[in-house]
Amino acid sequence: MFAYLRTTAFLTFLNMRQYIYLIISILFVFQACATGDSSQAKDSPKGSLFIIGGGSRPDPLVNRMIDEAGLRESGYAVILPMSSELSDSAIIWSSEQFIRNGINNVTGFNFLHDTPPNPVWVDSLKNASLIYISGGDQNRFMSIVADNAIELAIRQAYNSGAMIAGTSAGAAVMSKLMITGDELRYKDYTETFRTIESENLELGRGLGLIETAIIDQHFIWRSRHNRLFTAIIENPGVKGIGIDESTAILVRDNEAEVVGVAQVMVFSNPDRSYREYENKLGASNLRIDIFLPGDKFTF
């Protein structure tokens, strides 16, 4: 009798252990499925970015943008001029660079503040081969497109394979953390920062087409190093990419190629170094790379 009870208890133990293993296996399968769905949801966009640092746009640079967008074969370009105070003029000036280089299938949509987005325009944005964002004031642009059908259409176009391009302010809006151009401690606007101080750099929300870097423009020409140093010290999880005038980066996934006539500088803070003394910022082992036309880098 005792042997029977001992055997029964042992078999019950085995059954319980098998039951636990079964539960664990089921949970593992569900977790794997969830991870697979998550990975699939985060697939890289099929499109590309062409981010211009402002200034003049030489024809070879414009032609590279046109060719990479596939506009010579098919499709059309849409200009978004809302960064500019002279939006109608911005459409004309931007159109000229396309027409001069053989692209006539280009139009412009000037969406307005406090006006529901035209659904026909929004639909055209979704299906554009190239969306080009003009220069001006990046804050003005984001105040019009943020959290509405316009921003969603830009993202859908990018995810589906379109090129999203922009110059100057149109470059700044590409990143998730967007440099607004304003200083919090000093209210008089200057083209560059005179200091490297804490709580001085104002960042807004950009389109978020780039999440691992902050974009700055007119970079070397206007000596904007101080504000990008400030950016990577206070936000060490991202890199700072400073694009000079008449120069662009062509981005696919997180790889960039320098296009144009000048340099691109990339700042990083790999040790997440941060020191502060009377509002002045310090950091150690920062990394600075200077890339030339034709160079490629990842971020």
User: What is the reported pLDDT for 295?
Assistant: 98
Average pLDDT over residues 181-193: 87
How do residues 250-269 score in pLDDT, each as one tens digit?
A: 999 889 999 999 999 999 99
Asked whether the whole model's pTM tops 0.75, one would answer yes
How do residues 41-100 score in pLDDT, each as one tens digit?
A: 457 899 999 999 999 999 999 999 999 999 999 999 999 999 999 999 999 999 999 999
Element (H, E) at 287: strand 287-291
Give long-range contacts, CB 8 A cutoff, 24+ apart: 189-194.
191/218, 191/222, 191/224, 192/222, 192/223, 192/224, 192/225, 192/226, 192/227, 193/224, 193/226, 193/227, 193/230, 194/226
How do residues 24-55 score in pLDDT, each as one tens digit?
A: 444 443 444 444 444 334 578 999 999 999 99
User: What is the reported pLDDT for 34?
Assistant: 44
Which pair of structure tokens corresponds to residue 17?
Answer: 């252990």
- Position 116 confidence tier, pLDDT thresholds 50, 70, 90: very high
How do residues 202-232 score in pLDDT, each as one tens digit?
A: 999 999 999 999 999 999 999 999 999 999 9
Give long-range contacts, CB 8 A cutoff, 24+ apart: 223-228.
223/192, 224/191, 224/192, 224/193, 225/192, 225/265, 226/192, 226/193, 226/194, 226/195, 226/196, 227/179, 227/192, 227/193, 227/201, 228/265, 228/267
Higher-pLDDT residue of 297 and 254 is 297
Closest CA to 255 of 289, 298, 209: 298
Residue-averaged pLDDT of the chain: 89
Higher-pLDDT residue of 8 and 69 is 69
What is the distance between the terminal CA atoms of the chain, rounded to a whole angstrom? 72
Average pLDDT over residues 282-288: 98
Higher-pLDDT residue of 1 and 282 is 282
Q: Give the CB-side neighbour count of residue 98, counting CA atoms within 13 A.
A: 27
